[in-house]
Structure 1
Amino acid sequence: MRDLAARHQGFFDLHQAGCFVIPNPWDAGSARMMAALGARALATSSAAHSFTLGRADMGGVTRDEALAHAADLLAATSLPVSGDFEDGFGDAPEVVAETVALAAEVGLSGISVEDTHVEAGVAAYEFDLAVERVRAGVAAARALGRPFVFCARADGVMNGVYDLDEGIRRLQAFEAAGADLLYLPVPGGRADLARVLASVAKPVNALAAGALKALTVSELAAMGVRRISTGSQIARLTHAAIRDAVSAMLGAGSFAPLAEAASGDEIDALLRRGAE
């Protein structure tokens, strides 16, 4: 097991050059499998975590639950972990700063905070407040005295509450406020992503969702993307397998989908390797 200082520095270094994929596990088992398969870092997914609790996405977990979940993933592997903490679990900039401090306390190497007002559904925070929230989170991250990647998200394009021009304006303001990583989930496609990348100097995260799923890692890297996350995509793929297999059993009476199951020995081997 690498110590936390090595995890934090390694995570920071991953963002300084090149491009890497950061998959999003939802429990210790999925984290260990991803580690065994070559992941260099992991990130929580608020949606995937909510699904494990039988809850819907968006506000489905509390801050305490999110922190405990992050601690479980940290204990599962030796990889650095970043926390998907939605809107920072509160409106006020001071709450975002407190969430950063708590995330660091459990051992996370970074955090992602949205400009979406979770309690109001998909509403976006007013521009000045959104920027001040990022500024407060960045200040808390800098006060830690160790590497901590603060990712500022502009989610309004994905949620349909503002256009790409406004999303870029927000990313530029988040960059000026000190964010280490910038993230506008689900732009319209390659051309929109290119506009995002050209508009800022700091590293950019892209989500493998929507039109961007048609692009490869090498294509995204060539465009200038520094980090590629999967969000709840892998968890939802797993849920689709449950849906299809159980529907076949209870509907058509067929167990054919089970032919695709991995062997217990293969899974056991991956779990052992991922724990190293």
Structure 2
Amino acid sequence: MDTDRRAKAQRFADLHREGCFLLPNAWDVGSARILEAAGFPAVATTSAGVAFSLGRPDHDFFAEQPPEDRVDRTTMLGRVREITAGLQVPVSADLEDGYGESPETVAETVELTLASGAAGGNIEDFTGDRSRPLYEEKLAADRIRAARETLTAHGEPFVLVGRTDVLLVGGPLDEAVRRANSYLEAGADCAFVPGAADAETIGALVRGIDGPLNVVMGLTGNALSLDDLRDLGVRRVTVGGSIARAMYRGLLDAARELADHGTFSYAADQLSQTELNDLFRQG
């Protein structure tokens, strides 16, 4: 890792030490450059947004998603590499379940992610198998542990996030807390529990988890603000694929207006060519 990349990665790690920050999610270089221009100190990727940009569904239960529909590791990390090369701020990668069950595969994924220039990455415990939607807890922790051992061997700054999807698959809050703490003990720097959107649940997670907590907003819209989340003790806030979904909502609305009515009112709020050129102009 060169000096500039190491400095970016260290800045990203430092953001997790105190306070609360918003880490918005991009899916390509253009979306990432716009988020960077808005002044965010770092940007994350969204595997959902990347999948949608490729005309694929997001990672889901296998019964609803044939294997050929899933974005493979090489393609996903290729997009991560493009984004990191196009930004001056640190980038954290959504690595789904690490692209394989074994701890060895997860470790390899994290090593490849480090080589892509990313400053951090999430590993989740969602399996895609309805008969066992989450990896068994010990195996899930071993996967995080293997990733941490690989990172330690490289000696480079990298924020490893242990994500548990307990709440998303209908599991209890106490299991989410237990798994999050298990992943932190195994070497994660930050815990991530998607599916918590109200102050009571988020507050309980903050109190129960022995480390920094990431929550995701924007899945269905939410009344809580960044200030509210800061007051609750949340360390990091992401928005998942919500910006991408909002963009595709606009695209679908424009397509329906054109196809159904032959009118062009969708264009009234477009960014001008000059604005976009200025945003994307190098240097």
Where on the TM-score scale, by shorter chain, does this alignment land: which range?
over 0.9
Cα deviations across residues 102-152 of structure 1 (Å, max 9, x unaligned)? 111111111100001136698111111111111111222222212110000
Alignment check: 8 A CA contact 1:122 1:159 kept:
no
Compute the displacement of 1:168 (Å). 1.1
What's 2:222 paired with? Answer: 213
Say yes or no: does 1:18 pair with 2:27. Answer: no
TM-score, length basis structure 2: 0.91
Alignment check: 8 A CA contact 2:196 2:215 kept:
no
SS of equivalent to 1:147:
coil
What's 1:96 paired with? Answer: 106
User: How far, CA to CA, are the matches of 1:188 and 1:31 in structure 2?
Assistant: 25
Mean Cα displacement is larger for which, 206-215 or 244-253? 206-215
Say yes or no: does 1:249 pair with 2:261. Answer: no
Larger RCO (CA within 8 A; separation ≥ 6): 1
Aligned length: 273
Compute the displacement of 1:230 (Å). 1.1
User: How far, CA to CA, are the matches of 2:246 and 2:260 in structure 1?
Assistant: 20
Among 148, 164, 169, the residue aligned to 1:154: 164
SS of equivalent to 1:100:
helix
What's 2:128 paired with? Answer: 118
User: How far, CA to CA, are the matches of 1:210 and 1:196 in structure 2?
Assistant: 18
The aligned runs of 1:115-264 (5 Å cut-off) are: 115-118=125-128, 123-160=133-170, 162-210=171-219, 213-264=222-273
Give structure 1 regions of 4+ aligned residues with deviation exceeding 4 angstroms.
119-122
User: How far, CA to CA, are the matches of 1:53 and 1:198 in structure 2?
Assistant: 39
Alignment check: 8 A CA contact 1:189 1:212 kept:
no
Q: 1:230 to 1:52 in 2, by over 3 A?
A: same
SS of equivalent to 1:43:
strand
Cα deviations across residues 175-212 of structure 1 (Å, max 9, x unaligned)? 22121000000115211111111012311111013477
Structure 1 unaligned blocks of 5 or more: none
Amino acid at match of 2:28: D
Amino acid at match of 1:270: L
CA RMSD across the alignment: 1.9
Cα deviations across residues 254-276 of structure 1 (Å, max 9, x unaligned)? 2112101111111111223xx54
Alignment check: 8 A CA contact 1:138 1:178 kept:
yes
Say yes or no: does 1:69 pair with 2:41. Answer: no
Alignment check: 8 A CA contact 2:197 2:222 kept:
no
Structure 2 unaligned blocks of 5 or more: 61-69
Mean Cα displacement is larger for which, 30-39 or 233-242? 30-39
Alignment check: 8 A CA contact 2:162 2:183 kept:
yes
What's 1:8 paired with? Answer: 9
